[in-house]
Amino acid sequence: MARRQTPDILSDVLGNTSKTVKQQDSKTAQSAADLRTPPTDERTKATYYINEDVLNDLTIAQGKLRRIVRNAGVNRRALSKSEIVEAAVATALADLEAYGESSSLALRLISQ
């Protein structure tokens, strides 16, 4: 089922004659989405507040890790902060799963 015709409000405001604009229906939009290559690694944007010092340390670590990866002979694209944060969180969560209250993450949070 096609969506109804919508008046072109911008033309009305600018003094042009009113035209109608056909909007894409959801089935057409879905078909267009199906034509795209599905992402190989789905990611979700998440925003968290962190201390400015930690952010500066992350930037410094990014440079160090880029050199480490390059010196290891790994041929890859640039190393993003998101990849570093994801690896760090995954490492901390694996440590928490393995060691529980004795994990580095738990001990750090307890000592704060």
Q: Tens digits of per-residue pLDDT, 52-62? A: 999 999 999 99
State yes or no: pLDDT of 21 exceeds 50.
Answer: no
Q: What is the pLDDT of residue 55?
A: 96
Boundaries of every domain in the chain: 5-34, 53-111
Q: What is the pLDDT of residue 43?
A: 83
Beta bridge partners of 20: 7
Read off the DSSP letter of residue 75.
Answer: -
Contact 19, 8 (CB under 8 A): yes
pTM for the predicted model, two decimal places? 0.60
